[in-house]
Chain A
Amino acid sequence: MTTETIKPSIWAFANPTRFNTFASKAIPVLAIITFALLAVGLWMSFNAPEDYQQGYTVLIMFIHVPAAWLAMMSYAVMSASAIGTIVWRHPLANVSLRSAAPLGAMFTILALATGSLWGKPMWGTWWEWDARMTSVLVLLIIYLGLIALSKAFDEPSEAALPLAVMTLTGAPLLPIIKFSVDWWNTLHQPASVSRFDRPAMSAEFLYPLLIMALAYTAIFFTLHMMAMRNEILSRRIRTMKMQAARKQSSKGAA
């Protein structure tokens, strides 16, 4: 057997074993980065000054806003994976799509829950049917539907294309969520960080928020990689079980 040289491309990871070796090395590094960012971010968040209008409830922002960003980023990762499935038939793209869906759903739930907790003292209501909240709720339903779809097939590989097509069909929701606060004049405040001129937020709030956002992103990629590794391993277990069952039945027949 000759050892071939592998060009560094995404196709190198088409081999699940190679991906798993890479993942086992990358996960500890990512985990350390996550913990470091989270520690710094939380420390900075708790030391942020009291807002002159909102008091200490402004601290909820540091866990609410990154969760909402990540809820959308997870869907973006899933859409990219869906394109990878449809266009290049990359075997890892489907694994990535499947693993990102529960994470995205969790971040969406987190964003809705913290937003609800923040809304009660600020707006005097747990829930309001305004454009931003409603569109995020729709995003959650789509996530849950996609998870249900991914579990509905007997053979995991058969779910790849349906999942990809359905994910891309839901993708127009992302810009709707992003611009919902601009298009409809509603309760939820408009974007105050990603603006064309300068963020409408002072530095003592902005820096902890950005570090928390980075920490959340690191959490996502750590968990995503772990979930992908688990998915690959569980598929392997499934194949081995089927092989064992086949062997058993052929032995019984003989």
Chain B
Amino acid sequence: MLALLKREILLSIRAGGGALTGVLFFLAVVSVFPFAVGPDTKLLSHLAPAILWIGALLASLLGLDKLFAQEREDGSLDLLVMQPHPLAITIFIKALAHWTMTGLPLVVATPMFGIMLNLSPLGIGATMITLLAGTPAISFIGAVGAAVSVKLPRGSMLISVLVLPLVIPILIFGVAAITGALEDPAPFTAPFLFVCAITLFTSVLGPLAASIMLRHSAD
């Protein structure tokens, strides 16, 4: 399992700079917002949690279509399916590797973008924590979308359409938690725990659903 994790991470680093592209995309999305909204720092710092979350959401969708498609093309997907241990665990590892290469770099890059958007240190901390807790769920749900459209020749667009509505709850609770940390009457703990709960929930059910799908598309 560790070997698989290592292989996935190495592959995405060496083959075309996967991690850096994600951060670059994040930078592009975040820097587009001030152009559209205007460089008003007060407004920007108010919108910053939402902008950072949307950027992270879109960046995490990147590369989902490649999650199983490449394995299917070179035939190693069949080997993964026929391994002795449960397929769901393999998919869990693959989704985790996807998150390590897309979600985790964003968390690390958040302080820089937070400063650019005039976010307070407390806000930056809250954004980092919620992103850390919430973005894995996007990869786990995304694994289902990727498994469903693995046979499709033109599936990458469809994955985003299928996955985006399902990750909206994470966005809602993530941004709610940051607002809770910044503004006094709103609570931080309750929405944050919801984010954690969704991640734990999807970490079990997402790989399971994807494994049902993949086992039958392998033949």
- A→B interface (CB under 8 Å): 86, 138, 141-142, 144-146, 148-149, 152-153, 158, 161-162, 165-166, 168-170, 176
Taking a contact as CB atoms under 8 Å apart, the answer to whether A169 and B209 are in contact is yes
Please report the total number of B residues contacting A with Cβ < 8 Å.
24
CA distance A176 to B169 in the complex (A): 10
Taking a contact as CB atoms under 8 Å apart, the answer to whether A148 and B144 are in contact is no
- B→A interface (CB under 8 Å): 141, 144-145, 147-149, 151-152, 154-155, 158, 161-162, 164-166, 168-169, 209-210, 212-213, 216-217
Residues of A within 8 A of B161 (CB): 141, 144-145, 148
Taking a contact as CB atoms under 8 Å apart, the answer to whether A152 and B154 are in contact is yes
Q: List 16 A-B contacts (CB under 8 A).
A: A141-B161, A141-B164, A142-B165, A148-B161, A153-B151, A161-B212, A161-B216, A162-B213, A162-B217, A166-B144, A166-B145, A168-B209, A169-B141, A169-B144, A169-B166, A176-B169
A149 and B162 in contact, given A161-B217, A162-B149, A165-B148 (Cβ under 8 angstroms):
yes
Residues of A within 8 A of B158 (CB): 145, 148-149, 152
A165 interface neighbour in B152, B155, B164, B209, Cβ under 8 Å:
B209
B165 interface neighbour in A86, A138, A148, A153, Cβ under 8 Å:
A138
Which among B141, B165, B216, B217 has the greatest number of chain A C-beta atoms within 10 A?
B165
- Distance in angstroms from B98 CB to nearest chain A CB is 17
- Distance in angstroms from B145 CB to nearest chain A CB is 8
- Distance in angstroms from A27 CB to nearest chain B CB is 32
CA distance A162 to B150 in the complex (A): 9
Residue of B nearest to A89 (CB): B216
Taking a contact as CB atoms under 8 Å apart, the answer to whether A145 and B149 are in contact is no
A162 and B148 in contact, given A141-B165, A169-B141 (Cβ under 8 angstroms):
yes
Residue of B nearest to A154 (CB): B153
Residues of B within 8 A of A153 (CB): 151-152
Taking a contact as CB atoms under 8 Å apart, the answer to whether B168 and A138 are in contact is yes
Taking a contact as CB atoms under 8 Å apart, the answer to whether B212 and A152 are in contact is no
CA distance A148 to B159 in the complex (A): 11
CA distance A236 to B160 in the complex (A): 33
B162 interface neighbour in A145, A158, A168, A176, Cβ under 8 Å:
A145
Residues of A within 8 A of B148 (CB): 149, 162, 165-166
Residue of A nearest to B164 (CB): A141
Taking a contact as CB atoms under 8 Å apart, the answer to whether B165 and A165 are in contact is no
CA distance A15 to B32 in the complex (A): 56
CA distance A51 to B217 in the complex (A): 56
Taking a contact as CB atoms under 8 Å apart, the answer to whether B162 and A152 are in contact is no
Residues of B within 8 A of A169 (CB): 141, 144, 166, 209
Taking a contact as CB atoms under 8 Å apart, the answer to whether B217 and A165 are in contact is no
- Distance in angstroms from B187 CB to nearest chain A CB is 14
Residues of B within 8 A of A165 (CB): 144, 147-148, 209-210, 212-213
Residue of B nearest to A137 (CB): B165
Residue of B nearest to A152 (CB): B152
- Distance in angstroms from A250 CB to nearest chain B CB is 28
CA distance A141 to B216 in the complex (A): 27
CA distance A37 to B109 in the complex (A): 61
